Structure 1
Amino acid sequence: MGLGRLLAKGAAVALVVGMVVAFFPVVVALVVGTNWRGAADGLGGLPGISHDAPVSTAVVGFGYGVVCWALLFAGGAGALGVGLGDVDGSIPTASDTTAPADRQATVVDVVDGDTVDVRFTDGSFDTVRLLGVDAPETRGETYPAEFEGVADDAAGRQCLAESGAAATAFVERAVEDETVTLRFDALAPTRGDYDRLLAYVVVDGASLNRRLVAAGHARVYDSTFERTEAFYAAETEARAASAGLWSCRRTVG
C-alpha cells in the first residue's frame, strides 16, 4: 500500500470523529432563524450547547461542520482509491483505460478498402472504420502526398484509384456477408470521424486491418493504437516488395 493511500485511510478515520463532533452544531445552525431558544433548551444537556449561546456560535459551528464534511468526503474518497478525475469527469489516461469488450457482427456492405457497414446480433447497424489503416479512396479524391513516394500527378492519382478499387475488392472477398469480431483498442477512441466505430475487424482469427497493410492495400494511419509497431513493420515489408499501392511509386520521376 502506498504512503499516500495509507495517509488517506488514516485521515478518513480521523475525520469520522470530526464529523460526529461537528454534527450537533450543524443541527443547531439549521434551526437558527426559527426557534433558536427552543433548540437550545432541547439540546441544553449536550456538550457545547448552552441556552445563552449567541447565534454566532451556531453559525461558526455550521461552518466547522461543513468543512468537516468536505474533508471527510475527500479523505474517504482517497481511502477508496477514487481520484479527482473520477469525480469531475476528466478523461482517464491511456494507462488507466481498458478496451471495450469484443462484439460480433455481420458485414452487410463494404464501403471501401477501410470502411464497412455491419449489423449486430440485436439487429442494430453501424459503420466501422478499420483502425490504424488508410486505403486509397474509391468514392472521393485521393491525395498522393498521403502515400510516401507516389508522384502527385495524373499517373500517380490514377494508380492510387486503381489501388483503392483493389483494396475494396480485397475486403469484399475477405468479409462481405461474413460474421466477424470487432475488437477495440485501449489506446484508441471507440469512435472517430463521422461517429464511425474504430476497431480491428477479425475474421478467422486474423486481423483484416493488418492483412490490408501487409498486402500493400493500405498504409498505416498515423494515429495512436497498441499495434502500431507491428503495423509499421508490415508496411515496411510491403514497400520493399512494391506490393499493392506501393507499386505506384514507380511513377515518380
Structure 2
Amino acid sequence: MKRKFCSLVLFVVAFSASADISGRIVRVLDGDTVEILEPGDRLTRVRLAGIDAPEKSQPFGQRSRQELSSMVAQRPVTVTGSETDRYGRLLGTLWLGMTDMNAEQIRKGLAWAYRYHGKPVRPDYAVLEAEARSQSAGLWSEPGQTEPWRWRSLHQNEQKTDKN
C-alpha cells in the first residue's frame, strides 16, 4: 500500500513539473532507450532518465532490453520529461499506467541508478538499487558487475573499431 501511495505521489509530481507525451512503444533499443509512436505518427526516441542499463554487449544487457520489451512493447505509455540529451533523445520517466518503468528496471536488477559525479541523480532510485543488490536480483545475482559508464570507458576503442 505504501509503495502504491509513493508511486502515486511521484506520478502526480512528475506530471505537474514537466511536459509529457503519450503514445505506443514501437521499439525497445536497449534497457534504457525506447521509441514511442505518438498520435499523428510522430516517432520520439526516449532515454529513461535516472537509470543506466547494461550495454547490449555487457552481461545482462540483452536481458535488460528483453525484460523492458516484454513489459512495454506495443503498450500505451506516457513519458514525463522536458530535457533532451546530446543525442536528441527525450530524457524522461516512462509510465505504464501508474507504474514507473525506470524504477522497475532498477527494482528487477536490470539497471543501475544513474550517478553524476558519483552521486545518484534520483536518490529514490539509489534506494531501489540497494534493495535489488540485497536481494541478488538480476545482474546482482553475479558478482563483479561493471557499471555501464565504466564499461563504456573501458571499451571505447572497441566501439570505435566496430563502427568502422
TM-score, normalised to structure 1, is 0.47
More strand by share: 2
Identity of aligned residues (%): 31
1:165 pairs with 2:65: no
Instruction: Please tell me whether the aligned partners of residues 114 and 121 of structure 2 are also in contact (alpha carbons under 8 angstroms).
Output: no
Alpha-carbon distance in 1 for matches of 2:89, 2:121: 20
Q: How does 1:47-196 map to 2 (within 5 A)?
A: 99-138=17-56, 141-142=57-58, 160=59, 163-184=60-81, 190-196=83-89
TM-score of the superposed pair, with normalisation by structure 2:
0.71
Structure with greater Cα Rg: 1
1:137–1:164 CA contact under 8 A, matched in 2: yes
1:117, 1:126 within 8 Å by CA — same for their partners in 2? Answer: yes
Give distance in 2, aligned partners of 1:99 and 1:232.
21
Higher helix fraction (1 or 2)? 1
In 2 relative to 1, CA 218–104 (structure 1 residues): closer, same or farther, beyond 3 Å? Answer: same
Unaligned runs of 5+ in 2: 1-15, 146-164
What amino acid does structure 2 have at the position aligned with 1:179? P
1:203-242 → structure 2 map (5 Å cutoff): 203-223=96-116, 228-242=122-136
> For 1:6-45, what aligned pairs fall within 5 Å after superposition?
none
Cα drift, residue 190 of structure 1: 0.9
Root-mean-square deviation (Å):
2.4
Deviation at 1:223, TM superposition (A): 3.9
- Answer yes or no: is the 8 Å Cα contact 1:133–1:218 preserved in 2: yes
Contact between 1:132 and 1:223, CA under 8 Å: does it hold in 2?
no
SS at match of 1:194: coil
Post-superposition Cα deviations, 1:37-85, rounded to whole Å, max 9, x if no partner, equal: xxxxxxxxxxxxxxxxxxxxxxxxxxxxxxxxxxxxxxxxxxxxxxxxx
Counterpart Cα distance in 2 of 1:116 and 1:216: 19
Deviations 1:149-177 (A, max 9, x none): xxxxxxxxxxx2xx111111111111111
The runs of 4+ residues in structure 1 deviating greater than 6 Å are none
- Report the counterpart of residue 154 of structure 1 in structure 2: none
Write the distance in 1 (CA, Å) between the matches of 2:51 and 2:142: 18
| Higher relative contact order (Cα pairs below 8 Å, separated by 6+ residues) | 2
Residue 227 (structure 1) shift = 7.3
* In structure 2, C-alpha distance between the alignment counterparts of 1:180 and 1:113, rounded to whole Å: 16
- Alignment deviations for residues 188-209 of structure 1 (CA, whole Å, 9 cap, x no partner): x610131111010000210000
Q: Deviations over 1:227-249 (max 9, x none)?
A: 71210100001111111111231
Structure 1: distance between partners of 2:68 and 2:75: 11
